[in-house]
């Protein structure tokens, strides 16, 4: 006789894995968007903010590759250079991108309001704190140093070069879990502001919380958001919520300041036998 054994996890959350730009640092995720616009401008292509933001959250070389696969970009590139963009173009653009991002990233190192309080709440609840990113380690060394001075220091930082593939693959989340020495995946929540973040967490078998107001989906600095008419802000927020919900996020919040409510809900869902 074959017996089915169910070993579902019914405990509380043990760890949280944060994204960086747009989630914990750089309100609006402006650093990468600004550089990608400049990168293609230098090549004679005037892209829109929406175009460069669409693949946000991916490793930066994959981000460039995704932009070059857009039909409108293929057409513009072919018109200017006489060929469809290829892997050589991806590599050349990536090498051009690296120093531009490293040079500008220091202008986008302010923590998003609520981050230090959220971290304190995590620590008080006994949660370990990891992080994943689409940035390189050299970029993260700059950001991590500035974040530490402001009170944010996760227990680990995982970048795409440390694993077989970055987002939307699950490997950075799994690597973070190993470094934190936390399992099962159902005891971990991934928090991020992009579709790629949500896909990464889901593929890793973790809970996911999507960040809307402070992140890439709206893509505005805090001062710019403050100037929006209420109706326009609500419309933008609704679009952001819809996009991350469609990506499969278990919960949606405006920013990390609201995390404690999300954690409480996930703990409750776990106690009732629900799993990511």
Please write down the long-range contacts of 197-200, taking CB distance under 8 Å and 24 or more positions apart.
197/19, 197/23, 197/57, 197/167, 198/244, 198/247, 198/248, 198/249, 199/167, 199/168, 199/247, 199/248, 200/57, 200/132, 200/167, 200/168, 200/169, 200/170, 200/172, 200/173
For residues 273 and 46, give the distance between their C-alpha atoms in angstroms, rounded to a whole number.
51
CA-wise closest residue to 141 among 133, 50, 260, 183: 133
Strand partners for 158: 132
The CA distance from 177 to 131, in Å, is 10
Read off φ and ψ for residue 249, nearest 5 degrees.
-55, 135
- Active-site residue, from 12, 14, 50, 60: 60
In 3-state terms, what secondary structure has residue 133? Answer: coil
Does 238 qualify as catalytic in the annotation? no
Where is 210: in which H helix or E strand? strand 207-211
Whether 258 is catalytic is: no
Sign of CA dihedral 31, 34, 36, 39: negative
For residue 98, how far is the Cα from the chain centroid? 19
Which is catalytic among the residues 14, 19, 26, 62?
A: 19
Cα separation, 116 vs 140, in Å, equals: 18
Residues 6+ apart with CB under 8 A from 96: 39, 42
> How far from the centroid of its chain's Cα atoms is residue 17's Cα?
10
Active site residues: 19, 60
């Amino acid at each position: 006789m074959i017996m089915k054994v169910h070993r579902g996890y019914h405990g509380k959350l043990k760890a949280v894995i944060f994204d960086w730009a747009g989630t914990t640092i750089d309100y609006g995720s402006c650093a990468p968007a600004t550089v990608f616009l400049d990168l293609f401008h230098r090549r004679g292509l005037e892209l829109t903010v929406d175009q460069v933001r669409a693949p946000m959250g991916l490793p930066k070389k994959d981000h460039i590759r995704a932009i070059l696969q857009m039909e409108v970009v293929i057409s513009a590139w072919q018109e200017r250079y006489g060929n469809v963009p290829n892997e050589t173009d991806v590599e050349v653009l990536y090498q051009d991108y690296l120093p531009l991002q490293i040079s500008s990233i220091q202008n986008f190192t302010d923590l998003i309001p609520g981050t230090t309080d959220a971290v304190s709440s995590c620590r008080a609840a006994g949660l370990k704190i990891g992080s994943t990113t689409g940035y390189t380690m050299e970029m993260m060394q700059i950001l991590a140093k500035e974040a530490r001075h402001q009170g944010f220091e996760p227990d680990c930082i995982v970048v795409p070069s440390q694993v077989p593939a970055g987002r939307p693959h699950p490997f950075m989340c799994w690597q973070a879990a190993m470094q934190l020495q936390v399992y099962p995946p159902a005891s971990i929540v991934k928090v991020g502001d992009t579709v790629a973040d949500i896909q990464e967490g889901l593929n890793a078998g973790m809970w996911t919380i999507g960040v809307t107001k402070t992140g890439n989906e709206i893509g505005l600095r805090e001062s710019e958001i403050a100037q929006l008419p209420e109706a326009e802000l609500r419309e933008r927020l609704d679009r952001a919520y819809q996009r991350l919900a469609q990506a499969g996020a278990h919960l949606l919040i405006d920013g990390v300041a609201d995390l404690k409510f999300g954690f409480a809900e996930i703990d409750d869902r776990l106690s009732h036998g629900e799993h990511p």
